[in-house]
Structures are given as structure tokens and as C-alpha cells.
A and B are shown apart, each in its own frame.
Chain A
Amino acid sequence: DGGITQSPKYLFRKEGQNVTLSCEQNLNHDAMYWYRQDPGQGLRLIYYSQIVNDFQKGDIAEGYSVSREKKESFPLTVTSAQKNPTAFYLCASTGEPNQPQHFGDGTRLSIL
């Protein structure tokens, strides 16, 4: 079955450490997205990419970085510059304009 796979499901970061969250899709979708969700709150867009080797900042890109070297993959790095990284991170993709986004099951990041 086609879908979006996020890994790991849980991740712990030490102070001053960069960590990378994986997002892989086999839906042949062009566009991919990263969102951050804090407890009891909605989704905030971190980065998005419409095509390979291109990506744009979302509303809260500071302290994060991404790459899009392959159509299927859109990893998110949470850098040490992100001072409050504890959150639930969701990856999504979409294939056509005005079509809904498909979501992965999320990665929960915590600070040690």
C-alpha cells in the first residue's frame, strides 16, 4: 500500500545536538511538507518542497533545515539553534493542486 513513513516514532535529543527526522513516501507525490504540532494546538508549517532540489520556508523555519535530493524523501533536521524543539512533527505530501495532503504517523521529539 502507498503511504508516508516517518521514523523514528519517538526521538530524544541532547542539548546542543542536531537530530534528523525521516520522511519517505511511495505515493509519487511531488510536494512534501513538514509541520510542527504542540500540545493542544494546531499545525504550523516548517518547510515545504514542491519539486526535487527546491524547498521553501514555512512560518516557523528558524532552527530547522531540510533537503530534497529525491522525490520520495524529505528529511527534517532539528538543529541546536531550535531552543524549544519538544513537539510532535508531522510530514505530509500531495500529488495534485487542490487535492488533500496525506500524512505520516508523526515523530515525537523530546529533550533529554
Chain B
Amino acid sequence: GNSVTQMEGPVTLSEEAFLTINCTYTATGYPSLFWYVQYPGEGLQLLLKATKADDKGSNKGFEATYRKETTSFHLEKGSVQVSDSAVYFCALKTSYDKVIFGPGTSLSVIP
């Protein structure tokens, strides 16, 4: 079946550090891949997406590249800020019915 695996958190970084959150997936067919962010007490917001192999999604300094050969969609940011502290979810969607979410990775950025 379809599944998403994310690196375990929590992740704690100093401001301006480089961020990588690993995400790998298992899926039949050709899934679309997403990263969502959740700030405390709020719903999920779409951060970026990629719909086919080698696509690069980017938004607010975050990037992720759809790697079909390694079934990965790692999230990166060159210089994190305190305001990036949140929970990040990797997700995949192969059809109209369901999205498969990873367990989420909590990020704390300290000044």
C-alpha cells in the first residue's frame, strides 16, 4: 500500500542554520507529493507541491525535489528563522480519494 515516512523529530536548529527534513514514500502509480506546515493551534497549510518526477516545488525559501529513483521528497531551507518553528508534514496523493500523510516533524528554531 501507499505510505510516507518522515524523519523523527523534534528537530532543533539555531537561527540561520540549514534545514533538511527527509521524506520517502511508497506508492503505486504516479503520486503527487506535498509538504504541509502546521503552526500551533492551526490547520495545515500547503507549503509546496510537485506533481511529477524531477519537479521542484518551492515557496518561502523552502524547496523539495520529486526524486522518483530514490522515492524521496526531502524538504530543505538554506537559512531558517524563528518564525519557521512548526510541524511539517510530507504527503502523497495518487487519486481523488485519499491523501497519505507522514507522521509530521516538529521543528524548533532558537535565536
Counting chain B residues whose Cβ lies within 8 A of the other chain, the interface size class is 20 to 34
Binds B, one of A69-77, A79-87, A96-104: A96-104
Which of B17-25, B71-79, B96-104 contacts the other chain?
B96-104
Name the prevailing secondary structure of the A interface residues. strand
Number of A-B contacts (CB under 8 A): 62
Contact of B49 among A45, A100, A104 (CB under 8 A): A100
4 nearest CB pairs, A to B: A103-B43, A42-B103, A98-B32, A97-B96
Task: Give 20 new A-B contacts, CB below 8 A, not counting A56-B97, A105-B42, A106-B43.
Answer: A31-B96, A31-B97, A33-B99, A48-B98, A50-B97, A90-B43, A92-B44, A94-B99, A97-B93, A99-B32, A100-B34, A100-B36, A100-B46, A101-B44, A101-B99, A103-B36, A103-B45, A105-B43, A106-B42, A108-B41
Determine whether the beta carbon of B44 is less than 8 Å from that of A103: yes
- 20 contacting pairs across A/B (C-beta < 8 A): A6-B43, A42-B101, A42-B104, A45-B98, A48-B98, A50-B97, A58-B98, A94-B96, A97-B95, A97-B96, A98-B95, A100-B32, A100-B46, A101-B44, A101-B93, A102-B46, A103-B36, A103-B43, A103-B44, A106-B42
Give bound CA distance, A26 to B56, whole Å. 30
Contact A90 B89 (CB under 8 A): no
Residues of B within 8 A of A (CB): 31-32, 34, 36, 41-46, 49, 51, 89, 93-99, 101-104, 106
- Kindly list chain A residues whose C-beta atoms are within 8 Å of the C-beta of B45: 103
* Distance in angstroms between the alpha carbons of A13 and B95 in the assembled complex: 35
